[in-house]
Amino acid sequence: MNLLPAVARDWRASANMVALFTSLGGLAVMAGCILVGYLCDLYPRRIVYVWSGLAFAVTEAAMALAPHTPAWFAGMLLVNNFALGLGYAGIAAVIYDCLGERAAATVGTVLGSLCNLPLVFMTVVVGRVQTAHGSNAMLMVEAVVAVVVLAAYSALAWLWKPAPVVVMPGHLALT
């Protein structure tokens, strides 16, 4: 998201268009967050997170393959921000789902902050890819990295499934 305004010239988007649609992108992020919040009430949060991350990867690849016109840039910027909202809400749901009730606000905030560290790394990586190979390569690298990371997350989440709670008759369940 942070690099899209910097590559707007590849889509021949004007500075005014970039400013307008970057601002509107905040509404798109909010809409994505609301949708994932709703979906997390219907489906397991880890599954929703993986699907929201895959949706983001698809939007990155779609932007690389889409026509490079100002209108497509504006539309894809909004779609990208919507997908970003999906991902932000998905990871927050997973974090809070895993925390339980003990110190959830403090630990959740710390973990949420730590989730931003990969953004710094990826900004450097895709920025270098963009400089060396162009905007399309940057978007495709970001999409591929997202799929690889989500596959690793899925494998780890599957391996570290919580143990089922067994309740003996006449005893309280301890979680």
Report residue 128 as tokens.
């270098």
Q: Is the pTM of this model over 0.85?
A: no
Residue 104 predicted with pLDDT over 80: no
What's the confidence (pLDDT) of residue 48?
93
What's the confidence (pLDDT) of residue 135?
92
Residue 68 predicted with pLDDT over 90: yes
Which residue segments constitute the domains of the chain, with CATH numbers given? 5-159 (1.20.1250.20)
Which single residue is written with the structure tokens 């390569």? 137
> Which is it for the CA torsion 31, 32, 38, 41, positive or negative?
negative
What's the confidence (pLDDT) of residue 7?
85
> Which is it for the CA torsion 86, 89, 92, 97, positive or negative?
negative
Residue 147 predicted with pLDDT over 80: yes
Mean pLDDT, the chain, integer: 87
Taking the C-alpha atoms of residue 94 and residue 91, their distance in angstroms, rounded to an integer, is: 5
Residue 8 predicted with pLDDT over 80: yes
Which three-class secondary structure string do you get for the chain? CCCCHHHHHHHCCCHHHHHHHHHHHHHHHHHHHHHHHHHHHHCCHHHHHHHHHHHHHHHHHHHHHCCCCHHHHHHHHHHHHHHHHHHHHHHHHHHHHHHCCCCHHHHHHHHHHHCCHHHHHHHHHHHHHHHHHCHHHHHHHHHHHHHHHHHHHHHHHHHCCCCCCCCCCCCCCCC
- CA 3 to chain CA centroid, Å, is 15
